[in-house]
Amino acid sequence: MNIFREVYQSIVRRDPLSTDKGKSELVFLNVWLHIHPAKVKKENMKFRHSFYLGFITFFLFLILVTTGIALMFYYRPFPPQSYQDMKDLQFVVFLGPFLRNMHRWAAHGMVVCVFLHMCRVFYTGSYKKPRQFNWVIGIFLLLLTLGLSFTGYLLPWDQLAYWAITVGTNIGSYAPFIGGTLREVLLGGHSVGQAALVRFYVLHVAILPSLMILLTIVHFWRVRKDGGLSRPVWKLKAPSTAGLVTIGTSADAPLVPTQAASTTKTYGLMEVVTGKPIFEQVTPEEEEDTVFSYPYAFVREAVTLMATVTTIMAMSLFLNAPLEELANPAKTPNPAKAPWYFLGLQELVSHSALLGGVVAPALMVIALLVIPYIDRNPSRRPRDRKWAIWLFTAFVVVNLVLIVVGTFFRGPGWALVPPWVHVVGRPE
């Protein structure tokens, strides 16, 4: 018996979880969990503050990695075998359709959740000092998500994939001076072909996921180093009303104000560095408002994980990922559409290639990147930042409207056709 005990103790070195020390050690003696603080602020666990969008995005990424690796066992990045592999997944691989569906829906879900997460961070003003740089990293993670989704889009090698990537890379080629070269480097030629498929495959399964993981690590690390999750805005509004009640007085007697030992308690590496740390200052009342991560934060994360996984699994059981006919360079669908998240861009391109395909998206990305540095307003309260909120909302709405128009209101020849009008016959 002793040997088992010894083995167990060599793996789990913490004190029992019934003790506070054990609860702390569970977190910081564990390489996977120590990204969490041992204790979290209660208010930060409020669902209506963050909607757990960051977690959901991360869990979707985990689903994508898992199902993606499983799919790699069945995939050859050579046309037309790639398409045959899709058919094999559909018809003869055990759980093949389920795996592919999960990968597809999780991918779309991730694009949506990254975007929503960004909106949440903006609306709560959480990109402000000291979190500016983490916002920048977040924007790069958004771009990486789009890149991963876009490169994965080509891999099934069906008509949908082929023409979406043809249109998508054409949009990129409108960039002055470098556009053509950029497209050529990405495709390994002048049109989407075998070389393009291999390049997209390598980007999709090696380069972009590696960058994604690296930046995710930095993103999480910065969350901790910048003082944890931002405080809910409603907490900012409420000035401290904490007070002491003198025992024996009537209920409506005035509270005796608390006397803090110091008004700005700070943490720092004593005797190693001097000066104040850069992160938000924590007042004593706040510190008392914390609980151990185990089990409070972990159970919430676990529920979020399972909710994400079951949602994707349920979708995958009933909704099949699209697979059209084998890619045919000689047969252009009309209209040929980019993946949905680029349809806003394609809509802009249809009005002006240079303005819509290059200037507008470049400005958009640059604007997103510099937001934390040009927004000099220190307040995070919505009523203090009406302009910022209006501008960002306009940005979101314009993007959504463009995507909706591009997706549902564009028919053959990119003509404006409402989705309820049925276009008869296929144009020759």
Smallest distance, Å, CB 26 to another protein? 16
Q: Is the peptide bond before 295 cis (omega within 30 degrees of 0)?
A: yes
Q: Tell me the C-alpha distance between 353 and 344, whole Å.
A: 13
Of the candidate spans 189-197, 275-283, 311-319, 343-351, the one that interacts with another protein by CB under 8 A turns out to be 311-319
Query: Rg of the Cα trace of the chain?
Result: 26
β-pair type (39-41, 290-292): antiparallel
> In the stretch 322-351, what mask flags binding to another protein with x, by CB under 8 A?
-xxx----x---------------------
Q: Which stretch binds another protein (CB under 8 A): 108-116, 164-172, 296-304, 409-417?
A: 296-304
Q: By CB under 8 A, is residue 394 in contact with another protein?
A: no
Q: Which of these ranges, 114-122, 214-222, 318-326, 358-366, lies near another protein under the rule CB under 8 A?
A: 318-326
- Segment 211 to 250, residues that bind another protein, using CB under 8 A: none
d(CA 263, CA 267): 13
For residues 119 and 139, give the distance between their C-alpha atoms in angstroms, rounded to a whole number: 11
Say whether residue 314 binds another protein (CB under 8 A).
Answer: yes
In the complex, what is the shortest distance from the CB of residue 97 to another protein, in angstroms, rounded to a whole number?
8
92 vs 238 by CB, closer to another protein: 92
428 forms part of the interface with another protein (CB under 8 A): yes
The H or E element containing residue 357 is none
* Strand, helix or coil for residue 238: coil
The residue (of 309 and 359) whose beta carbon lies closer to another protein is 309
Q: How far is the CB of 248 from another protein (least distance, A)?
A: 33
- Burial profile 95-111: b = 16 or more Cβ within 10 angstroms, e = fewer: ebbbbbbbbbbbbbbbb
Nearer to another protein, 84 or 334 (CB): 84
Nearest approach, Cβ of residue 415 and another protein (Å): 20
- Distance CA(318)–CA(314), nearest Å, equals 7
286 sits near another protein (criterion: CB under 8 A): no
What CA–CA distance (Å, rounded) separates 273 from 331? 66
- What burial letters (b/e) apply to 9-25, b meaning 16+ CB within 10 Å? eeeeebeeeeeeebbbb
Packing angle of the helix pair 386-408, 343-351 (nearest 10 deg): 80
Q: Which is nearer to another protein, 133 or 296 (CB)?
A: 296
Residue 428 has a CB neighbour count (10 Å cut-off) of 4
Does residue 98 touch another protein according to CB under 8 A?
Answer: yes
Q: Where are the alpha helices (DSSP H) in 337-414?
A: 343-351, 353-354, 360-374, 386-408
Q: For 38, phi and psi rounded to 5 degrees?
A: -65, -30
How is 55-107 classified by DSSP, letter by letter? HHHHHHHHHHHHHHHHHHTT---STTHHHHHHHHHHHTSTTHHHHHHHHHHHH
> Between the CA of residue 83 and those of 27, 32, 197, 325, what are the distances in Å?
46, 38, 12, 9
> At its nearest, how many Å lie between another protein and the CB of residue 280?
26
Report residue 127 as tokens: 């990109």
Give me the least distance between CB of 141 and another protein, in Å please.
26
Residue 84 engages another protein in binding (rule: CB under 8 A): yes
Is residue 97 part of the contact set for another protein (CB under 8 A)? Answer: yes
Options 86-94, 103-111, 186-194, 244-252: segment touching another protein (CB under 8 A):
86-94
The minimum distance between CB 165 and another protein, in angstroms, equals 18
Q: Position 94: which residue type?
A: F
Question: Is 290 strand, coil or helix?
Answer: strand
Stretch that binds another protein, among 171-179, 203-211, 299-307, 345-353 (CB under 8 A): 299-307
Question: Does the protein bind another protein through residue 94 (CB under 8 A)?
Answer: yes
Among 316, 344, 356, 357, binds another protein (CB under 8 A): 316
Interactions with another protein, residue window 115-144 (CB under 8 A): none
Residue 303 near another protein by CB under 8 A: yes
Stretch of residues binding another protein (CB under 8 A), selected from 94-102, 228-236, 272-280, 363-371: 94-102
What does the per-residue mask of binding to another protein show for 152-191, with x meaning CB under 8 A? ------xx--------------------------------
CB of 83 to another protein, least distance (A): 9
Nearest to 228 by CA among 11, 427, 38, 423: 38
- Residue 302 binding another protein, by CB under 8 A: yes
Residues that bind another protein (CB under 8 A): 80, 84, 87-88, 90-92, 94-98, 158-159, 295-296, 299-300, 302-303, 306-307, 309-310, 313-314, 316-317, 323-325, 330, 428
